[in-house]
Amino acid sequence: MRPIRIAFAAFVASLIAVWLTSDTLLANASDGRAQAVAFTQFTGLLALGMMAFANLLSARPRWLEPPLGGLDKMYRLHKWLGVCGLLVAIVHWLTHAGTGRGVSVTDAAVSAAPAWISSLKGPGMAAITPSLFLLVALVAVALVRLVPYRIFARTHVLTVPLFAYFAFHSVVMMKAGYWAAPAGWLTIILALVGAVSGIIGLMNFFGLRRVSRGEVLSSHYFPELHVLETTLHLDRNWPGHEAGQFAFVTTDAREGAHPFTIATAWHPENCRIGFIAKELGDHTAKLRENFAVGRRAKVQGPYGRFTFDDGKPRQIWVGGGIGITPFIARMRALQDTGSTIPVDLFHATKDVSTEALAKLRADATAAGIALHISIDGRDGLLGFGRIANAVPDWKDASIWVCGPTGLGNTLRRDFVANGLPPGEFHQELFEMR
């Protein structure tokens, strides 16, 4: 979480710094309207910048995964930027309404703006209020988990044309003096980057980029867990993956792509990939139907940086519920060589499948991993104390957690409070909305 907090703060600080090179809220202190106009321009740049950055992240640029910690972290940052950008946009709209319709330019640099810009200010303002209200509705749909994923996904694409209009509004409504100043240059750059990124994001949504095609070879259902394990054969377009990564899978064009953690090691000679997914409602309630043997699928990826590479002499893995999946993939990748370092895997679950636990034990034994099973109803909730008692030298380890957000946050708090460096705690944030 720390890298995305730093990225968010640094980006906002950069926007503010650039704006301050071009304007100030301190000038004309006695002129309330002039200050309101300056504040409107300031909030407009902030809102545009946050939305543009959110669009960039939605394009899933691979070069941003390493510094931000993976696509799961990027989506969390995307969410922060989207919500904060909307809030700032509302403040911008309210402030602009207070200054009256149309922004009067009081600086002397009117000639700095292209002459034809003035003719576009009418269209630039005409639909701003309904567009903002529509954006509020789209963000609400994204945040309310009761709304089915397919509705969220299909309505969220409307943010792309909305951004294009907001970008147009931002450019044509700039103070004339900004055209020859850093704030104006930045506004144009943000508008272009956000628009292009939005188009790329749409291409991702419709499966036009980084797609491999495959067919479901096998499916096995664990009724006690409401979990399906499935294997697909992919075409040669798949670039390969590391244990711990995930992919977006489309089995029904009406549903669109859904993210699933990869549960198998990659062997290019057979081009197979596996997933383990839990029925949680909505699309996943139809897992057995969507992943029936012989079903065709499109797979986009791989994504993610939850790949266990840190050079530490010991590791502790914690998989809560379906969060055990990346660890299964890692164990299967280690089966040929065994683990070169001591690893303890803690699996916390409230539901029990004798068959699934037997397979998990077999994978752990084959990989040389020490497995600890924690069943909520029998052992209570898994926490710092039990892990620390089982692994006395935990301070020499890095910790990898995938599962419910509450479990990860609690473990992070307790381990860091007891002396673990924050950078040694790795948490998969597998939430795409």
Strand 370-375 to 343-349 pairing: parallel
**Please, which residues have CB within 8 angstroms of residue 241's CB and are 6 or more apart in sequence?**
247, 262, 266, 273, 301, 302
Residues 286 and 327 in one domain: no
Tell me the torsion sign for CA atoms 344, 350, 355, 356. Answer: negative
Inter-axis angle of helices 32-58 and 2-20, nearest 10: 140
C-alpha 19/C-alpha 185 separation (Å) is 10
Question: Would you place residue 101 in the very low, low, confident or very high pLDDT band (cuts 50, 70, 90)?
Answer: very low
Q: Is the peptide bond before 123 cis (omega within 30 degrees of 0)?
A: no
Most confident of 252-256, 277-281, 314-318: 314-318
Asked if 64 and 189 sit in the same domain, the reply is yes
What digits encode the pLDDT tens for the residues 385-405? 999 999 999 999 999 999 998
Averaging pLDDT over each range in 94-103, 160-169, 233-242, 330-339, which range is the top one?
160-169
Residues 104, 314: Cα–Cα separation, whole Å = 64
Share of the chain above pLDDT 90, in %: 66
Residue 309 placed within a domain:
no
Q: Closest Cα to residue 249, out of 259, 264, 241, 240? A: 259
**Based on the domain organization, do 387 and 408 belong to the same domain?**
yes
Is residue 196, in this structure, part of any structural domain at all? yes
At 74, the amino acid letter reads: M
Contacts of 302 (CB under 8 A, 6+ apart): 239, 240, 241, 242, 245, 246, 247, 262
The answer, yes or no, to whether residue 167 has pLDDT greater than 90, is yes
Whether residue 76 sits in one domain with residue 181: yes
Distance CA 99, CA 108 (A): 20
Closest CA to 106 of 27, 50, 207, 53: 27
Q: Is the pLDDT of residue 229 over 90?
A: yes
What is the model's pTM? 0.83
242 and 102, same structural domain?
no
Identify whether residues 35 and 165 lie together within a single domain: yes
Task: Please state the domain count of the chain.
Answer: 3
218 in the same domain as 200: no
Q: In whole angstroms, how far apart are CA 411 and each of 191, 270, 324? A: 41, 38, 16
Which of 140, 183, 184, 173 minimizes the C-alpha distance to 159? 140
- Which of 205, 234, 253 is the endpoint of a domain? 205
Which pLDDT band, with edges at 50, 70 and 90, does 29 fall under? low
Residue 142 falls within a domain, yes or no? yes
Contacts of 354 (CB under 8 A, 6+ apart): none
Separation between Cα atoms, residue 92 and residue 88, nearest integer Å: 6
70 inside domain: yes
Domain final position from 303, 328, 362: 303
Mean pLDDT of 192-198: 96
Residue 283 has a pLDDT of: 53
- Is 105 inside any structural domain? yes
Residue 168 has pLDDT above 60, yes or no: yes
At 153 the pLDDT is 82
Residue 9 or 151, more confident: 9
| Residue reference for tokens 């705690």 | 425
Residue 369 counted as domain residue: yes
Tell me, what CATH number does 424's domain have?
Answer: 3.40.50.80
* Cα 347 from Cα 331, distance rounded (Å): 13
Task: Give kind and range of the element (H or E) at residue 193.
Answer: helix 182-205
The Cα 199–Cα 232 span in angstroms is 29
Smallest Cα–Cα separation from 432: which of 58, 6, 51, 52?
Answer: 58
For Cα atoms 212, 277, 297, give the angle at the middle one, nearest 5 degrees: 25
Q: Residue 261 maps to which CATH number? A: 2.40.30.10
Average pLDDT of the residues in 180-185: 92
Say whether pLDDT at 166 is over 90.
yes
Identify the domain containing residue 236 by its residue range: 211-303
Asked whether residue 433 is assigned to any structural domain, the reply reads no
CA distance 224 to 136: 40
The candidate with the shortest Cα–Cα distance to 87, out of 122, 118, 120, 54, is: 54
Last-in-domain residue among 205, 235, 259: 205
Partners of 228 in the β-ladder: 221, 277
Residue 103 lies in a domain: yes
Q: What is the CATH number of the domain that holds 12?
A: 1.20.120
Shared domain check, 251 and 296: yes
E strands, 163-245, in order: 211-222, 227-234
Question: Apex CA 113: angle with CA 107 and CA 118, to 5°?
Answer: 95
Does one domain contain both 155 and 215?
no
Q: Which of 36-40, 65-69, 296-300 has the lowest mean pLDDT?
A: 36-40
Give the pLDDT score at 336.
Answer: 78
Query: Is residue 21 exposed (0-12), middle (13-18) or buried (19+ Cβ within 10 Å)?
Result: exposed
- How far from chain centre, in Å, is Cα 77? 6
